[in-house]
Structures are given as C-alpha cells and as structure tokens.
Amino acid sequence: MKLAEKVILGDVRALGRAISLVENEHPDKHALLEQLAPHCGKAMVWGITGSPGSGKSTLIDRLLTHGESHRKLAVLAVDPTSPQTGGAFLGDRLRMQSHAQDQRIFIRSIASRGKLGGISSATGDAIKVLDAAGYELIIIETVGIGQSEIDVRSLADVLVLVLNPGSGDSIQLLKAWIVEVADVFVINKCDKAEANRLSADLDFFQSLKMPTAENGRRPVVITSATLDKGIDELWRTLLNCQDNLVANGSLRDRRARRIQEEISDLVAAKMQEELTRFMNDTGIVEKLSASSLGGGKSIYALRDEILSEFWKDFYKSQ
C-alpha cells in the first residue's frame, strides 16, 4: 500500500513518515501532496503564538483536555533547531506528555530551521498531511520570537496571541503588528498582579483601533495554565470565534487568500530558482557588469537586459 493511502486511512506510523518526508524536502514530497490534496480542506487550524515563557505549551496541554468533542486532534509544535542534528529540540512536545498515550491526539515537533517568522517552511505541508489523515483540529504552536512572529497568520484559521503579564508585553503592544491580526487574546498566568493591568492595556489598545469588518473587538481571556483556570472559557471562546468566521464567510475568504499567497510564494521561489540557474550558467551578470565598469548602463538597464535574455532562454527551452 502506498504511503498516501496509509495516511488517508489514519496509520500513525505512516503519518509520521509522511511529515518527515515533507519536512526534509524529500524528492517524493510533491507526489505525496498531490495524492493527498483531494482529501484536504476539512480541518480547522488554530495558531497559538506569543513570546517565549508565556506558557503556550502548557496552555495547549490544558486545551487538549477539552477536546472531547473532536474525534482526532493534532499539535504541531515548532521548536528551535538543534545545531547538532538540525532537528527540533522537542522542548514543547515534552510539556504535553500527559496526552502522549491518547490515541485521538497526535503531537509532533518540527524544527524552525532558522525561519524568522516563528514557524518552519514545512509547517504548511505538515498541516496538509494531518488534514488528509482526518484530524479535525490542528493546533500550531510557534517557536516564540516576538514582534516578527507573523507567518502563522498565513496558516491559521483562528490566531491566538498569548501574553505574559509582568514581562513587558504591555509596553510592546503598540509596536507588535501581530496584535492587530490576532483573533483572541490570552493573558496567561492570571495569578500575577499585573494581569488586570495588561487586560486594561489591551482594552485601551483596541479602543484606539477602528474595529475591522472581519472580527471587530476581539475577546480577551485571562487564564492560568498551571492552575487550570480560565481554560473552559478559552475553549468556548475559540469555538465561538471559529463558528462566527464560518457564519460570516470570513473563514472562506481567509483560506482563499492563503491559497493565493502560497501559490504566489511557490511561483516566486521557482522563478528565482530558474533565474539563478540562468545567470550562473550563462555568466551574464559578470559579462554585463564588466562592460559597464567606469560608466555605461545603469543597474536598472542591466536588470532589464538580463530579464530580456532570461525570458528568451526560458521560452526557447519550453
């Protein structure tokens, strides 16, 4: 039986092999995703992001206990990359071991591979594999790198921003673009005295912004993952958020934009690959730059000449 067929049937070992295949950019990756594509598009994806130490992993661990209504749940924890193996450190996965024996839940760590957006480039493909395997809810936990951690927005149906009171998060609110696109705010570690102050800061921040047509004022939930407080409310809030996105058509719009962005990125990457190959094979950059030393054509004129030669070569090879 082919690997794709085993994944579709829910074979956990095959699922692990398939994710490793896409993560490691195996030559068979494209064929696998092509076979899985007709079975994708059903899973709901939640993105959990926030600064390091905000308690994302423990919060997800608690949320998983409230997933009884879901037949199959999955977590993709994006961890820092090991300099020795190139794989994930597995730190986040270790904090979810209370669910390791639950057959409904699949937990996998993926190395960030130095990606600055908080997720690895393989995360989107891993989501497709899990979706095809029948997982109804997929939770992505980002590595946690602060203000630049925005790539998860392009993958998640519902985006959750976890904030840590007393850590300076309130000072950074007006700087962080991620705050403007999050669907739900979570103030974790509610036992800290600064939790209410951070909640007030969030209310003030939202009052400064015009409510968007898509989600308006976004809910703020105060929790304590370690004390298991506020998790029921958070679970209900997330389900209500995704139901609203489905009802008003926003979910469909988000997914359409996601597909468009993914296609654009793939086309751009392929074109860059072909252009680099052309320039290396022909040595055209060295030739043109040498001819322009001490004056001559501007770099923009050289750019146009390179592109003109590239397209001639490209169409000739078709």
Task: Please tell me the predicted confidence (pLDDT) of residue 85.
Answer: 44
CA distance 206 to 203: 5
Amino acid at 209: K
More confident site: 208 or 25 = 25
Name the nearest CA neighbour of 118 among 67, 167, 64, 81: 81
pTM of the model: 0.84
Fold of 43-248: Rossmann fold (3.40.50)
Task: State the pLDDT confidence band at 97, using cuts at 50, 70 and 90.
Answer: low
Tens digit of each residue's pLDDT (9 = 90 or more) over 234-292: 999 999 999 999 999 999 999 999 899 889 988 998 999 999 999 999 888 888 877 77
Task: Please tell me the predicted confidence (pLDDT) of residue 246.
Answer: 94
CA distance 206 to 65: 31
Task: Please tell me the predicted confidence (pLDDT) of residue 84.
Answer: 42
What is the domain partition of the chain in residue ranges? Answer: 43-248, 270-316
Say if CB 32 and CB 2 are below 8 A apart: no
Task: Please tell me the predicted confidence (pLDDT) of residue 38.
Answer: 95
Residue with tokens 């389900």: 239
CA distance 163 to 261: 28
Share of the chain above pLDDT 90, in %: 41
